[in-house]
Structure 1
């Protein structure tokens, strides 16, 4: 079913324009290098315009994999393709698995709480995901490889890429859960005190501590580093010619790196540099 003729699913011209424009997304995120205002997560602010952190995260992050799946199931028939190669579906599966975890399970099931976010953050992230879903989805649904022979000769690189993607996903989930445990522990403590004293629960939306397990012993944003490894593996699966996967990785780094550096300054201000030790923001020993 066509939602918007020539746009969803995208015509080749629309897809090429989406890929082209998405390549300039770092210019938008460059403002993060100049200001520390980022009204979401630990740096969220009180605003009457704020929206639920859980539902805001779910809806903005889901746009990409929903768009990708829609395009994968509609565009091939418009292009006269009876089926897509297994490599295309493998990459689509990697993308969807990540975002089922990241966009649905994490905010709605696993996270004890999430700070509210400003609508501007939601809008930027939604736009990021929509452009990303269209660019990667279009490549996988007919504007990239269309036969199994297009993947021939690349199996070793694909296997290595899939291993890197899987370890990145596992590392991402492990470090995410370490952050969750900080709030779960705080919630358990609050509930125990409430049972003894009758005091109402304060909530754990703004409870933060310095994480220490795994790569957190070296960097404050280990989950970012693992996610970059994940999408580097994804690009390796698609190959150098998979420009949408490359753009996705570059845009992720351009968006998340200044955010990590902002976060490091926040940790230093809240806990003091001496408590952080030699931890870097996101790359051990470097950044």
Structure 2
């Protein structure tokens, strides 16, 4: 049993080192994400990530906005890089960077994949740069947050990029123009997913802006006063009002989950299916998945593909934080929260 576990870990390390090419690296990270899901979610139930309302770890703290922007911008950069990587199963280096290869890889994608790639980049343009500019000022965060988040975003963005491209840019052969399955349900499902994504993004931006406005009002009051920031949570925070805040205390979270659920739905309509379920070797004759050791063969099942893993990881990490935030509001504002606050945390009528 011990030798089997050692062999498994050895193959994962070899995959991460590039000894089995981009497919081996992809499969290794895919498995690590699955394992992280069994640790990250439960861990978030025990320890609140030290930033925002829970940023009590003052040592090794970094600037909130700069730390946030740097850790989040890793994801779209890794995504573009992964999008441009050719699929292979032999030893390869992942350090070469060629901007022209990214552009040509994007242009080679069928329309549906271009739409999803654009959606991913729009989300992270807002999350990394625009939200950092719009936010009146994030609290300082412990350096462990940007470091771990950057590592997660590197792996997540890279694997989604590799998966979404599916080896198509390197085939040199035409794929169906739209890139959708030849089935009556494909276009409606893709359209539904795209609408859900757009609605989730708009809702996420709107409810983030509600919180930003609260910060702006607090800062304006401080400037009119003595100019010294109050240490009282009730002076620094307010109960958010409007939109979905009438129903849940963390609509930004549920909006983002809805956004990525739509993205996931849209991917079900893609053709050929990203590797797997449709073996990419049918498009790239030189690629043989049989040569890979078992731990480095890409996992099958829609629920184990990068878009699904990303959604599961988000819910697992953010749901415990939403629960803690809801309890924090109740404890901080007491009776006022009972009168003005949301009854539910993220899902109206459910939780």
Under a length normalisation based on structure 1, what TM-score does the superposition of the two structures give? 0.86
- Per the TM alignment, residue 203 of structure 1 is displaced from its structure 2 partner at its CA by 7.9
Matched, 1:158 2:199: no
The match for 1:139 is 163
Structure-2 separation of matches of 1:136 and 1:22: 12
Q: Runs of 5+ in structure 1 lacking a partner?
A: 194-198
Structure-1 separation of matches of 2:313 and 2:335: 29
Deviations along 1:146-200, one digit per CA (max 9) or x if unpaired, are 833752331111101000000000000000000011011112222233xxxxx33
Deviations along 1:79-121, one digit per CA (max 9) or x if unpaired, are xx892222221111111100100111111x1000101111222
Structure-1 separation of matches of 2:46 and 2:323: 11
- Per the TM alignment, residue 221 of structure 1 is displaced from its structure 2 partner at its CA by 0.4
The match for 2:344 is 280
8 Å CA contact retained: 1:162, 1:233: yes
Matched, 1:17 2:45: no
The match for 2:265 is 236
Give the alignment of 1:107-146 within 5 angstroms.
107=132, 109-143=133-167
8 Å CA contact retained: 1:54, 1:113: yes
Give the alignment of 1:162-181 within 5 angstroms.
162-181=194-213
Give the alignment of 1:1-287 within 5 angstroms.
11-29=22-40, 30-35=42-47, 37-75=48-86, 83-107=108-132, 109-143=133-167, 147-148=175-176, 150-152=179-181, 153=183, 154-193=186-225, 199-202=226-229, 207-239=236-268, 243-272=305-334, 275-277=337-339, 279-287=343-351
SS in 1 for 2:62: coil
CA RMSD in angstroms, aligned pairs only = 2.7
8 Å CA contact retained: 1:161, 1:236: yes
Structure-2 separation of matches of 1:6 and 1:158: 36
Q: Which runs of 4+ in 1 moved over 3 A?
A: 73-78, 143-146, 203-206
Structure-2 separation of matches of 1:125 and 1:18: 15
Structure-1 separation of matches of 2:163 and 2:318: 24
Structure-2 separation of matches of 1:234 and 1:166: 9
CA gap of 1:62–1:137, structure 2 versus 1, over 3 A, is same
Structure-2 separation of matches of 1:144 and 1:16: 18
Deviations along 1:204-250, one digit per CA (max 9) or x if unpaired, are 99721111111111111000010000000000111186521111111
8 Å CA contact retained: 1:113, 1:204: no
